[in-house]
């Protein structure tokens, strides 16, 4: 009897050890075989943010395809559903809620606009699902998504370089090149991304001895911006700061050039996509912004990414595509190491969250890691529009 | 400042043209046609699609855009208004009916993406687009420190001529007299042998054609065409204009349009930019309080 009991205990111990090591390793090539990693992306495919969302989506889809073709994450295939929030905050929250509860996604990506993130990120935090922002660069995205509360959000991450870094870098770069004396700020007051960018401009200009003559605000849906541009041009500034998104920067630039203004446009993240450069055309030539990514950057995984993207979609990727692509790779890497069970969604989401904090991969954005506040620390590329739908590099600013 | 006056005259012309259509329908039918802003948007969208997606000449596209808008006027009459008139429904039913049609039109444009049901009408979904440069002649002159843009300047004579023509028609032609008779008293007009239904249809056609033209001019001159230009730019301002000018009065709509354009631009210049929209409605409110019939409206009589 004792021998039998000892024997069965030994056998049980051996089996437990074997199961433990197979499951506990996690990096074992096939431990997730047959499972699906469900991800949801809330993006602005239409509406004001519709110039950015499709790029993020294409970058993400490329990454998913590549990972799945290479065998998936430890054998699990990634299933990514992209839903459109029409650039509307309420719709964004609604779509996210569906993905969290009905679709039972493991993690979310997005939303595209900082304005929507105000609603979606606290929701994700509250529902304890990891969410990776791939294009929101406004203030108080991470870590205090529940601003004005200063309790850090544990489930919100971003891989998109914040305006708090980008705008000052851009202004500093131009100030040291050209020493402008005066500027006017044009900002869409009813959009968080734009108004956040405006605040950053206001806080930064004095450091570089630029006198901000006036801040002109308008509604993001107004079609006729002529009176505002006329006011700005009438002040004869050296620089016009444009922190808006979508179709607005191009319109302002075209109108200002029409009215004979020859100065420098400085912008934010809203400039960093081909559609804006193309719409602005010749009027936008030389307009500068700081970007998280540049087509010709020499990081190891960038060239492959660019080639693969061009092959798949027939045109160059942009910053948003690179950030979307990196986002999927970040989540995939975290999922690999997270020991997912696929039977306890809440537990898996938390494990993924913890694993994301220790991500360290090569990406088209460079070597990628999160900071302690789930933000991104990376090289900044100061770029300018080339007047023909593209960008050229002005400066590369390495992280401090 | 001179440049701002030009901005005001341009946007004022658009408002005036748009509001004339509004006020025409109100004068004749005593209802607000809230599908008017959708027709404004439709005119611009059709013109854009014909040029960019179907490769037609700009001028042909404009003509077709106006015709489509006019046709939509007929649709408004036959679908939204006439059935309710037959049933002697209260005016508010007609109002809601036109709102419904407006929503349908805008949704159809918004849904237009490559491969969808409405791809023949529009393929850019909810995104704003602009006419490709070179589509139409748009010379720019710099005179006395002012920037004069061909497409914006052209709006002024076009609007003025149309409004004069309309005024002439209303005053001096048989059709105009018939329309005014219907506006005054439909029953008496019918007794005089006027085909009231036909006059109403004609009113809608003219009104919608003007609305569509306003949309085309707006979209082309400002380089911004999307499913939302009607809602964002003219829908509610049009109401402010006709209240300012007097509901039912065409000269009032014209004056109101230019006045509103001027007030808005002056507000931006003098008060700072955030208040532009608020100013339009402050003016509206003030007019309602001080002189509810507007500049040229008839004194309101009690309806017993």
User: Rounded to a whole number, what is the distance in Å from the CA of B304 to chain A's nearest CA?
Assistant: 43
Q: CA-CA distances (angstroms) from residue B247 to B24, B216, B300?
A: 9, 24, 11
Contact between B3 and A87 using a beta-carbon 8 Å cutoff: no
- Strand ranges, E, within chain A: 36-43, 77-84, 107-109, 131-133, 156-158, 182-188, 211-218, 239-242, 264-267, 288-291, 361-363, 366-368, 380-385, 391-397
**Residues contacting B149, CB < 8 A, separation 6+:** A258, B138, B139, B140, B221
Q: What is the pLDDT of residues B175-212, one digit of tens each?
A: 999 998 998 888 899 999 999 999 999 999 999 999 99
Contact between B223 and A254 using a beta-carbon 8 Å cutoff: yes
| Residue A248 and residue A177 in one domain | yes
Per the model's pLDDT, the better-predicted residue between B291 and A290 turns out to be A290
pTM of the model: 0.81
The pLDDT value given to residue A28: 56
pLDDT value at A21 more than 70:
no
| Residue A80 and residue A138 in one domain | yes
Check: CB of residue B253 under 8 Å from CB of residue B14. no
Q: How many cross-chain Cβ pairs, A to B, lie less than 8 Å apart? A: 78
| Residue at A178 is within a domain | yes
| Residue at A374 is within a domain | no
How large a percentage of chain B has pLDDT more than 90?
Answer: 40
Contact between A86 and B126 using a beta-carbon 8 Å cutoff: yes
| Residue A239 and residue A387 in one domain | yes
The pLDDT value given to residue B297: 75
pLDDT value at A172 more than 90:
yes
| Residue A196 and residue A77 in one domain | no
> Which tokens is A224 given?
């006729």
Contact between A46 and B126 using a beta-carbon 8 Å cutoff: yes
Percentages (nearest 5) of helix, strand, coil residues in chain B: 70, 5, 25
Check: CB of residue A269 under 8 Å from CB of residue A166. yes
Contact between B274 and A189 using a beta-carbon 8 Å cutoff: yes
| Partner-chain residue, chosen from A46, A219, A224, that has the shortest CB–CB distance to B125 | A46
CATH number of the domain at A124, please: 3.40.50.2300
> Which tokens is B79 given?
């679908």
| Residue A287 and residue A336 in one domain | no
Q: How many domains does chain A have?
A: 2
pLDDT value at A310 more than 90:
yes
| Residue A204 and residue A337 in one domain | no
The pLDDT value given to residue B222: 85
| Residue A266 and residue A320 in one domain | no
| Residue at A24 is within a domain | no
What is the average pLDDT across A132-142? 90
> Which residues of chain B are within 8 Å of residue A231 when distances are taken between CB atoms?
4, 268-269, 273
| Partner-chain residue, chosen from B128, B149, B276, that has the shortest CB–CB distance to A247 | B128
Q: Which domains does chain B have, with CATH numbers?
A: 2-126+144-290 (1.10.3470)
Order across the sheet with A77-84: list the strands: A77-84, A36-43, A107-109, A131-133, A156-158
> Which residues of chain A are within 8 Å of residue B264 when distances are taken between CB atoms?
227
| Residue A391 and residue A242 in one domain | yes
> Which tokens is B108 given?
């159809």
Residue A220, chain B, CB below 8 Å: the answer is no
Per the model's pLDDT, the better-predicted residue between B130 and A381 turns out to be A381
A 149-208: CB under 8 A from B: 189
Contact between A247 and B265 using a beta-carbon 8 Å cutoff: no
| Residue at A16 is within a domain | no
Question: Prior bond to A111 cis, omega within 30?
Answer: yes
Angle between helices B2-29 and B150-172 (to 10 degrees): 30
pLDDT value at B284 more than 50:
yes
Contact between B142 and A260 using a beta-carbon 8 Å cutoff: yes
Residue B234 DSSP code:
I
Average pLDDT of chain B?
Answer: 87
| Residue A91 and residue A237 in one domain | no
Interface test with B, best of A53, A218, A227, A282 (most B CBs within 10 A): A227
Dist CA B265 CA A393 (whole Å)? 39
> Which residues of chain B are within 8 Å of residue A46 when distances are taken between CB atoms?
110, 125-127
Residue A201: domain span: 164-291+382-397
* Pick from A110, A147, A104: nearest CA to A127: A104
| Residue A216 and residue A98 in one domain | no
Q: How far is C-alpha A161 from the geometric centre of its chain's CA atoms?
A: 7
> Which residues of chain A are within 8 Å of residue B127 when distances are taken between CB atoms?
46-47, 50-51, 247
At residue B14's C-alpha, the angle toward residues B26 and B79, to 5°, is: 40
């Amino acid at each position: 009897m004792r021998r039998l009991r000892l024997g069965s205990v030994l056998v049980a111990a051996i089996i437990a050890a074997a199961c433990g090591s197979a499951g506990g390793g996690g990096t074992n090539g096939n431990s997730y075989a047959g499972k699906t990693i469900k991800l949801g992306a809330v993006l602005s495919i239409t509406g004001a943010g519709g110039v950015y969302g499709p790029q993020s989506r294409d970058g993400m889809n490329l990454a998913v395809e590549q990972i799945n073709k290479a065998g998936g994450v430890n054998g699990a295939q990634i299933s990514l559903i992209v839903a459109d929030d029409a650039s509307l905050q309420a719709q964004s929250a609604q779509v996210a809620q569906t993905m969290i509860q009905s679709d039972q996604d493991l993690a979310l990506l997005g939303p595209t606009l900082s304005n929507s993130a105000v609603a979606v990120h606290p929701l994700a935090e509250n529902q304890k699902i990891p969410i990776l922002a791939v294009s929101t660069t406004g203030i108080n995205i991470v870590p205090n998504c529940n601003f004005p509360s200063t309790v850090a959000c544990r489930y919100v991450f971003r891989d998109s370089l914040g305006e708090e870094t980008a705008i000052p870098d851009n202004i500093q770069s131009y100030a040291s090149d050209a020493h402008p004396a005066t500027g006017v700020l044009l900002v869409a007051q009813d959009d968080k991304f734009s108004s956040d960018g405006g605040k950053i401009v206001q806080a930064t200009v004095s450091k570089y001895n630029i006198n901000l003559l006036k801040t002109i605000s308008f509604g993001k849906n107004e079609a006729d911006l002529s009176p505002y541009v006329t006011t700005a041009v009438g002040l004869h500034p050296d620089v016009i700061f444009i922190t808006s998104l979508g179709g607005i920067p191009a319109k302002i630039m075209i109108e200002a050039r029409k009215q004979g203004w020859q100065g420098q446009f400085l912008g934010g993240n809203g400039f960093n996509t081909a559609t804006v450069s193309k719409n602005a055309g010749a009027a936008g030539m030389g307009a500068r912004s700081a970007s998280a990514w540049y087509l010709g950057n020499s990081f190891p995984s960038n060239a492959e990414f660019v080639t693969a993207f061009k092959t798949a979609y027939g045109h160059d990727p942009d910053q948003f595509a690179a950030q979307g692509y990196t986002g999927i790779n970040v989540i995939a890497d975290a999922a690999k190491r997270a020991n997912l069970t696929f039977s306890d969604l809440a537990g898996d989401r938390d494990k993924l969250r913890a694993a994301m904090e220790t991500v360290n991969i090569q990406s088209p954005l460079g070597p990628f890691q999160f900071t302690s506040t789930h933000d991104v620390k990376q090289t900044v590329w100061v770029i300018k529009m080339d007047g023909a739908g593209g960008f050229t590099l002005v400066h590369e600013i390495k992280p401090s | 400042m001179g440049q701002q006056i030009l901005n005001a005259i341009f946007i004022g012309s658009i408002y005036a043209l748009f509001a004339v259509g509004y006020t025409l329908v109100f004068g004749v039918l005593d209802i607000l046609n809230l599908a008017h802003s959708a027709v404004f948007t439709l005119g611009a969208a059709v013109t854009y699609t014909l040029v960019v997606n179907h490769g037609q000449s700009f001028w042909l596209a404009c003509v077709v855009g106006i015709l489509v808008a006019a046709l939509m006027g007929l649709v408004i009459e036959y679908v939204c208004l006439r059935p309710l008139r037959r049933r002697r429904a209260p005016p508010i039913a007609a109002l809601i009916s036109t709102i419904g049609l407006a929503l349908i039109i805008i949704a159809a444009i918004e849904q237009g993406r490559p491969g969808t049901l409405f791809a023949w009408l529009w393929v850019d979904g909810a995104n704003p687009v602009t006419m490709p440069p070179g589509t139409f002649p748009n010379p720019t002159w710099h005179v006395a420190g002012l920037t004069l843009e061909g497409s914006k300047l052209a709006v002024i004579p076009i609007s003025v001529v149309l409004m004069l023509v309309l005024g002439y028609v209303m005053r001096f032609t048989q059709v105009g007299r018939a329309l005014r008779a219907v506006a005054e008293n439909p029953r008496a007009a019918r007794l005089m042998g006027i085909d009231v239904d036909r006059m109403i249809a004609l009113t809608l056609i003219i009104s919608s054609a003007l609305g569509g033209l306003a949309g085309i001019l707006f979209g082309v001159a400002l380089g911004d065409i999307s499913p939302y230009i009607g809602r964002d730019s003219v829908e509610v301002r049009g109401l402010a204009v006709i209240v300012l000018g007097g509901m039912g009065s065409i000269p009032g709509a014209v004056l109101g349009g230019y006045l509103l354009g001027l007030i808005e631009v002056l507000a931006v210049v003098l008060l700072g930019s955030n208040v532009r929209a608020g100013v339009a409605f402050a003016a509206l409110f003030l007019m309602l309080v001080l002189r509810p019939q507007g500049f040229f409206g008839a004194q309101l009589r009690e309806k017993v």
